[in-house]
Amino acid sequence: MTTKRPLVIVTRKLPDAIETRMMELFNCRLNLDDSSLSQLQLIEAVKTADILVPTVTDRIDARVLSQAGPQLRLIASFGTGVDHIDLASARQRGISVTNTPGVLTEDTADMTMALILAVPRRLSEGERLVRAGRWKGWSPISMLGHRIWGKRLGIIGMGRIGQAVARRAKGFGLSVHYHNRRRVAEEIERDLEATFWEGLDQMIARMDIISINCPHTPATFHLLSARRLKLIRPHCYIVNTSRGEVIDENALARALAEGEIAGAGLDVFEHEPAVNPKLLELDNVVLLPHMGSATIEGRQNMGEKVIINIKTFVDGHAPPDRVLEAMF
């Protein structure tokens, strides 16, 4: 990078304190009205930016990157997932990519645990009943759900967030099981009292609650396919706070409607912000607007990581949160 302040283009509104600090450090172009940029606007941004700061809502695909100017050398993504960025195209063009790992772990695990509680206990249904003025008072058989104490929880993806979910689940008396690409260290298994399943099919067929905590990659697209959803027992609940693309959403909606799966708690959707209309019709589903990481503290921490990654890169050093290091 040159000694002049780099042009940093930010695609969405960030916390005020983060934007103020970025303005102090860099030649920064902000998005003050927080409107999502169109593909054409993203193309215009990469033509002029030295550094682009996108979020998960921005599709930085091959078409966008093909128009990038030679000065674009860093994409400092505001978020953990990078499935919205075409990493192969970025590598080919010599563009480094960073993310903000770690800071969202506890927030997302909290939301996962909230959904694990909310769906079996029918919290969303009960809240709607009260607001609609249809609650007639306490009854011995009214709004009966299921306790989670003593149930089996199957975690798909035992990374930072999966382990944080397991710690919470253990405190609520759940028996923790997990499937992961690689088995975690023995001391982690022992601490979490977690049982490893090498076969995903075998695990999900025996669980009472399934929590999806793996990233979206080509290998995990529709990981819970129509075939796999058929393996899940009718009393089981599914919670997803990772990425909507991991589940075949149409197949899930059908299974829920036909009573093949007891319920679901979804914070993410396959075609966000669109929500499958079949899911909207179901009472046994809790639907949230991708708010698993939506805490003030988390967003502040994300912004601070973005600034550190940019500042380190501008100073000629390797950013701490490299997902992709440019080849030239």
DSSP E strand stretches across the chain: 7-10, 27-29, 51-53, 74-76, 96-98, 152-156, 175-179, 194-196, 209-212, 237-240, 263-266, 285-287, 322-324
Contacts of 25 (CB under 8 A, 6+ apart): 5, 307, 310, 311
Give me the catalytic one of 12, 93, 243, 299: 243
The mean of the pLDDT values for the chain is 95
How far lies 281's CA from each of 101, 200, 275, in Å?
Answer: 35, 30, 11
Reduced to 3 states (helix: H, G, I; strand: E, B; else coil), residue 126 is helix
> CA angle at residue 302 from 296 to 304, to 5 degrees?
105
* Main-chain dihedrals φ then ψ at residue 45, nearest 5 degrees: -65, -45
Q: Which domains does the chain have, with CATH numbers?
A: 7-103+296-324 (3.40.50.720), 105-287 (3.40.50.720)
**Total count of residues recorded for the chain:** 328
Instruction: Give residue 171's pLDDT band: very low, low, confident or very high (50, 70, 90).
Output: very high
CA distance 65 to 95: 9
Residue 259 tokens, joined: 């009573």
Rg (CA), the chain: 22
Contacts of 77 (CB under 8 A, 6+ apart): 53, 54, 55, 56, 84, 85, 97, 98, 99, 100, 306, 323
Active site residue 186: no
Instruction: Give residue 327's pLDDT band: very low, low, confident or very high (50, 70, 90).
Output: very low
Active site residue 304: no
Give me the catalytic one of 84, 235, 290, 322: 290
pLDDT tens digit sequence for 246-265: 999 999 999 999 999 999 99
Percent of the chain exceeding pLDDT 70 equals 98
Give me the catalytic one of 121, 272, 304, 322: 272
What does the pLDDT read at residue 328?
32
What does the pLDDT read at residue 3?
58
Q: Cβ(257)–Cβ(284) under 8 Å?
A: no
Average of pLDDT values for 58-79? 97
What does the pLDDT read at residue 111?
98
Instruction: Give residue 146's pLDDT band: very low, low, confident or very high (50, 70, 90).
Output: very high
Closest CA to 31 of 4, 53, 60: 53
pLDDT tens digit sequence for 208-248: 999 999 999 999 999 999 999 999 999 999 999 999 999 99
Reduced to 3 states (helix: H, G, I; strand: E, B; else coil), residue 24 is helix
Instruction: Give residue 1's pLDDT band: very low, low, confident or very high (50, 70, 90).
Output: very low
Say whether pLDDT at 131 is over 50: yes
Q: Cβ(98)–Cβ(323) under 8 Å?
A: yes
> CA angle at residue 116 from 112 to 121, to 5 degrees?
145
Active site residue 299: no
